[in-house]
Structure 1
């Protein structure tokens, strides 16, 4: 099956606060130097403090996307959704009952170049580093 790589939307109708955020696996036991090919691309609105803007997200939920990138695997495209207790989750558009991945304290995290965030995945919590933040 030939699948095209993810291409971010062109921002013609979205608020100017929408950003393309690239996360790469940070240093941890299995990746002592980090691994930028394991990561995520997040399309989300950020406020003036570089946090996810909840009100803009509510108005443009369909545009708030996530792409899961793993070497040797097809990209998984999903949505950035609000979970219980103001948490954020990555919900993928896949057949079956794949579990959501959760951003650890994403509501309080600042998505700025070089900052670290954590994502709870099927095999546990992993650190990620913000590799890029750019306007759409």
Structure 2
């Protein structure tokens, strides 16, 4: 299984008209040939799909990218809790290629934050 390092940074929004490179996610996950998250490859080694959330100097949060049994993808920071999970909005449909946009629902908020795929590289 090939893992990719997907670097997301906050896209332009009302609070950050130029975006914010100090807020985002580093995701290590398998992608298929079209750039979609590869669920079949993920199922072979789910603990390999990791996420680091970085947020303007706050302590980084470490978690896992998890395919939820009801469908869709979540970022799970503590497996024994659900209130800290973040939901990738339609992650199953998105293409993870530089310049594309994805949205994530922050834990504890109803608001979606939009991120730009800044880079995608084969993980080392």
Between 1:88-97 and 1:55-64, the stretch displaced more is 88-97
Distance 1:76 1:70 in 2: 9
Pairwise CA RMSD? 1.7
Tell me the residue number matched to 2:112: 125
Between 1:117-126 and 1:102-111, the stretch displaced more is 117-126
Tell me the residue number matched to 1:21: 6
Tell me the residue number matched to 2:65: 80
Query: Highest Rg: 1 or 2?
Result: 1
Q: Which runs of 5+ in 1 are unaligned?
A: 1-14
Distance 1:81 1:68 in 2: 15
Q: Secondary structure at the match of 2:99?
A: coil
**Alignment map for 1:24-63 (pairs within 5 Å):** 24-63=9-48
Per-residue displacement from partner, 1:84-103 (whole Å, max 9, x unpaired)? 54210000148976420000
1:66 aligned onto 2:45 = no
Distance 2:70 2:92 in 1: 10
Distance 2:5 2:19 in 1: 21
Q: Secondary structure at the match of 1:55?
A: helix
Q: Secondary structure at the match of 2:32?
A: coil
Distance 1:53 1:66 in 2: 16
Q: Is the 8 A contact 2:101 2:117 kept in 1?
A: yes
